[in-house]
Amino acid sequence: MNHRTDPAARRGFTLIELLVVMALISIIVLFGFPALNKLINRSRLLGVATEAMSGLRLARYQAIKNSRPTIFSIDPATREILSWVDDNDDGALDPGETVLMRTTLLAGLYIGRPAADPGAAIDGFDGTTMARFNADGSVEAVGAYRFCDHPDNPRNFLEVAVRPRSVARVEIKKWDGAKWWGRDEGPSPWVWY
C-alpha cells in the first residue's frame, strides 16, 4: 500500500507540533505587541500634528488668497480643531463665514505639555487658543500647539509651532526631555517611548 494515498497516513499535525507552533506564536506576540502598540501611538500622534500643521498652512494660504484674515483654533475643552475665513475680523465664527477645517481630536490623543517645559499646552498666540493669519500671510502672534499621547503619564510630545510673525513658518518639533527639536535638528533623530 502506498503511504501517499493512504488516508490514515495523512492525518495532520501531531500534538507536539501544534504546541511548538503555539509557543512560537506566543513568543512573537509577547515581544511584538509592545512594539506594535508603540508604532500605533507614534503614528496617531504624528497624524494629529501633521493635520494641525496642514490646517495652519491652509489658513495662511487662504488669508493670502482671499486678502482676508483667517483663524485656526483648537478648543481644549471640546477638543475641536477649527479654521475659518474671518470676513468681519471679529475672531469668532459667524454664520456665512467659510469654514476651512472642522474636526475633533482623536481619542487617545491630548493637548498637553511636558512638565519640564515652562510653556503652556497652547503657548503664545497672545494668550488665546487661536492663530490669526493676516492678508499678507503673517501671523498676528507666534505660538505653538502641543500634543501628547496620554493624559496622566504622557511620554511623547509633539509641538506644532508657528514662527516668526513675518513669514508664519509652521513646523513640527518633538520634546527630547529638555528641548523641542525639529526632525533635522538636534544631536540625534527623534526617540519614541
The reported pLDDT for the residue numbered 45 is 94
Query: Residue 55 corresponds to which cell in the numbers above?
Result: 490646517
Interval 19-54: pLDDT, tens:
999 999 998 888 888 888 888 889 999 999 999 999
In tens, the pLDDT along 76-117 reads 999 999 999 999 999 999 999 999 999 999 888 999 999 999
pLDDT tens column, 105-161? 988 899 999 999 988 999 999 999 999 999 999 999 999 999 999 888 888 999 999
The CATH T-level fold of domain 14-182 is minor pseudopilin epsh fold (3.55.40)
DSSP symbol at 157? E
Cα–Cα distance, 186 to 91 (Å, whole number) = 36
Q: 3-class DSSP state for residue 27?
A: helix
**What would the grid cell of residue 16 be?**
507536539
Single-letter residue type at 137: G
Strands, DSSP E only, in 79-156? Answer: 80-85, 99-104, 110-111, 122-124, 130-133, 143-148
Alpha-carbon distance of 82 to 159, in angstroms, equals 17
Region 5-12: mean pLDDT is 63
d(CA 90, CA 76): 21
Indicate the burial class of 43 (C-beta count within 10 angstroms; 0-12, 13-18, 19 or more).
exposed
pLDDT above 80 for 6 = no
Please say whether the beta carbons of 38 and 192 come within 8 A: yes
